Structure 1
Amino acid sequence: MTSIQPGGSLIIAWQLKYKHVLVVGGGDVAAGRLQSVLATDATVSLIAPRDRLHPTVVALIKQFPQRVSYRDRAFKDADLDDASLVLTCIDDIDTSRRIVELCRARRVPVNAADIPNLCDFYFGSQIRQGPLQIMISTNGNGPKLANIIRRRIEATLPPHAGKAIENVGLLRAKLRQRAPGTGGELSKARMSWMSQVCESWSLDELALMDERIMERLLADGWELAADKKRVEASTTKPQLMA
């Protein structure tokens, strides 16, 4: 029987591209939240008095004028209209609680900085290499410890892991173009072939893969191989890397 440890959170990669995020507050915490949200290609409404803006927040407003809508004032209930996600980063606990209650009534996910029991989700300490994202979460118990653990993990991470993942994504896309379709035996064959490529090629080799190598691998390892030999065919890297 599988052992399940209770008390955790569901850690997911939430796609926010083209969605609207509301950030209430403009201080140091808001600066970090704003950077995290902008990395997802979301649009942002930022509500905070101008005299309380952190220099990083000011710089981001200027850098992303098309994606960050800034309002120099306090929060209003109408600010929640069309929000897909809400982040409060203010010292006023009462106002944060009221915003959380309004969000719950509208079924909008909300994070209230430094008030874990009011949060629908937590921010973790993150490692980022291109498409690679690794999050370390303490479920709101110890953000500083999450940062310390992140640094230890980051020190052991291969330097080209992000590039390797990017190339695997390109190879998968090319494979789908050559063998389109969803489900069934074809889908299983594609998954099996890609799995074997990932297992038989090192991260460094995957990072060095270019268009020429991808095309030869697909031609020699996928198209010319019989179905039963497709998995074995993907191990022809010595000739391809030469």
Structure 2
Amino acid sequence: MNLLKENKTIPLTEVGDNQLFPVFLKLNTLRVLLVGAGNVGLEKLGTLVTNSPSCQITIVAENVAPAVAAFVLDKDNIEVLERSFQASDLDGADLVVVATNNNPLNLIIRQEARKRKLLVNFADKPALCDFYLGSTVKKGDLKVAISTNGKSPTMAKRIKEDLEQTLPDNVDTAIQQMHQVRNNLNGSFADKVKKLNEITEVMLTGNKPAKHFNTNYKLLAWTTIFLSATIIGVLLWHYEPGFQQTVQEVHPYFYYFLVAGFIFSMIDGAIGMSYGVTSTTFSLSMGIPPASASTAVHLSEIMSNAIAGWMHFKLGNVNKKLFKLLVVSGSIGAVTGAYLLSSFEHYNMYIKPVVSTYTLVLGLVILSKAFAVKKKKIGDKIKKIIPLGLGGGFMDAVGGGGWGSIVLSSLIAGGRNSRTSLGTVKLSRFFIAFLSSITFITMVNGLHWEAITGLIIGSAIASPIAVRVSNKISAKTIMVCVGIIVTLVSLRSLYVFIDKLA
């Protein structure tokens, strides 16, 4: 099959814009040669089979990875030749995909494929490619292909995730119905096109949100932030005379906590967790009692999570159904935990080592998650959201943190989308922090406002920045550093407590 004429065009890298011509190949009628059977080869193989399960594929590789061998075990349409590539392997092929890191071999395959007028795709080598295997979104007979001209496959995957959530599940039903309408229409071609345009225009208009939809949500968000800040301010003015003094005099601790709040919020924005545990650990190490430390953390989380949650909502990173379940259950758990911790305020000497033990455990959990190999199970999403919210909210209030470490990690481990889980947890945390703060303020005496104001301002400054840069930082590196710091500081606090007892 002659798929490629003599290529005399300017290379794509010299053109300056996207010159790709999108086509959909009937892959089930073609023969594909895949050279290479490692991890990259497995990824390419999965893409081919996912889009066309009955495609005829021949794999040539000196070493076949166990995962590839297991993948093709029950597939009669895939042949595996465990040997070196030969030029004759190209004979009879219609399409070639190369997944090796052997540059001399890649050039040989390209040269031999050119002789036979074959299209070739090379993994991670855009300059050598005649075509790209783009990300695809499939809803029944609807298939949308995405390409970034070989510049950023990661961005293509992000857009794919957005489309998978944006496109309604019943879109295939609409397509089938439109197919039946098309077959039953009478008249000229122009009349049929006009009628179909009218029908689809109504369908699209019906799915569009009202123009004032986003404006209403924006107004609701800012109104909520304003009212919550007003309520907190009134309560502070009524119950905390020290709040007025803090406004007049700036304690040196303010600057320490300002920097700490900024750093911890940036970390939290990158990995979606650890702000509470790092802030609480830092506060305890600075001599602040557990209840006051938890109050400082939750008050600072109100503004930072309002900002981060709103930005995630604008970016479409919030699952509304999941959000409602987490807010209700998490709020109940948080208020309960804050009430119990405040009630035992006079036993700070004994509560502090308990909280330090809790942060120590969270530090070890963060370390374990940094090195854990996660395998996402599609279709096996965590279902017990209410118990998760109750437990996460309670432990978050008692330990001054843990909502992200407990809830977010559980959602992701349970098969939930990582990006929408992060956005949903961030937005729900605003309400958890708000209700916890109200409980603490009305029950705890002598709050450390130098720490609270420092954390509030520092985290608020960092929040919008953290959302934007969260995809550009190595989450594993940050998690390792956070886990080590939290673990060491918690161990130090426990050592000091034991030393005093001795």
Q: TM-score, normalised by structure 1?
A: 0.70
Q: Residues 181-212 of structure 1: CA distance to partner in whole angstroms, max 9, x if unpaired?
A: xxxx622222222222222346999xxxxxxx
Partner of 1:43: 56
In structure 2, distance between residues paired with 1:155 and 1:100: 38
Of residues 190, 197, 200, the one that matches 1:198 is 200
Q: In 2, are the aligned partners of 1:124 and 1:146 still within 8 Å (CA)?
A: yes
Closer, same or farther: CA 202–152 of 1 in aligned 2, 3 Å: closer
Partner of 2:160: 150
Partner of 2:24: 13
Closer, same or farther: CA 7–201 of 1 in aligned 2, 3 Å: closer
SS for the counterpart of 2:28 is: coil
Q: CA deviation at 1:14?
A: 2.0
Closer, same or farther: CA 167–46 of 1 in aligned 2, 3 Å: farther
Q: Is residue 197 of structure 2 the alignment partner of residue 186 of structure 1?
A: no
The amino acid across from 1:130 in the alignment is G
Q: CA deviation at 1:23?
A: 0.6
The amino acid across from 2:48 in the alignment is V
Partner of 2:80: 70
Q: In 2, are the aligned partners of 1:110 and 1:119 still within 8 Å (CA)?
A: yes
Q: TM-score, normalised by structure 2?
A: 0.35
| Higher normalized contact order (CA 8 Å, seq sep 6+, divided by chain length) | 2
Partner of 2:64: 52
The amino acid across from 2:71 in the alignment is L
Q: Alignment RMSD, CA only?
A: 2.5
SS for the counterpart of 1:91 is: coil
SS for the counterpart of 1:11 is: coil
Stretches of structure 2 lacking an aligned partner (at least 5 in a row): 1-15, 208-502
In structure 2, distance between residues paired with 1:70 and 1:146: 30
Q: In 1, are the aligned partners of 2:64 and 2:82 still within 8 Å (CA)?
A: no
Closer, same or farther: CA 53–168 of 1 in aligned 2, 3 Å: farther
In structure 1, distance between residues paired with 2:204 and 2:103: 50
SS for the counterpart of 1:117 is: helix
Q: Residues 78-132 of structure 1: CA distance to partner in whole angstroms, max 9, x if unpaired?
A: 1101111000011211111110111111110001111110000112222111211
In structure 1, distance between residues paired with 2:59 and 2:177: 36
Q: For 1:101-180, what aligned pairs fall within 5 Å after superposition?
A: 101-172=111-182, 174-175=183-184
Closer, same or farther: CA 27–203 of 1 in aligned 2, 3 Å: farther
In structure 2, distance between residues paired with 1:203 and 1:129: 20
Closer, same or farther: CA 204–60 of 1 in aligned 2, 3 Å: farther
* Range with bigger deviation, 160-169 or 116-125: 160-169
The amino acid across from 2:101 in the alignment is D
The amino acid across from 1:12 in the alignment is V
Q: In 2, are the aligned partners of 1:23 and 1:86 still within 8 Å (CA)?
A: yes
Closer, same or farther: CA 203–129 of 1 in aligned 2, 3 Å: farther
More helix by share: 2
The amino acid across from 1:9 in the alignment is L
SS for the counterpart of 2:20 is: coil
In structure 2, distance between residues paired with 1:102 and 1:61: 27
Q: Is residue 41 of structure 2 the alignment partner of residue 30 of structure 1?
A: yes
Q: In 1, are the aligned partners of 2:33 and 2:58 still within 8 Å (CA)?
A: yes
CA radius of gyration, larger in: 2
More strand by share: 1
The amino acid across from 1:45 in the alignment is T
SS for the counterpart of 1:13 is: coil
Closer, same or farther: CA 167–72 of 1 in aligned 2, 3 Å: farther
In structure 2, distance between residues paired with 1:26 and 1:166: 38
Partner of 2:100: 90
Q: CA deviation at 1:54?
A: 4.8
SS for the counterpart of 1:133 is: strand
In structure 1, distance between residues paired with 2:20 and 2:120: 15
SS for the counterpart of 1:193 is: helix
Q: CA deviation at 1:141?
A: 1.0
Identity %: 27
The amino acid across from 1:146 in the alignment is A
In structure 2, distance between residues paired with 1:131 and 1:113: 28
The amino acid across from 1:64 in the alignment is K
Closer, same or farther: CA 204–140 of 1 in aligned 2, 3 Å: same
Q: CA deviation at 1:74?
A: 1.6
* Range with bigger deviation, 84-93 or 126-135: 126-135
Q: CA deviation at 1:170?
A: 4.1
Stretches of structure 1 lacking an aligned partner (at least 5 in a row): 180-184, 206-242
Aligned length: 190
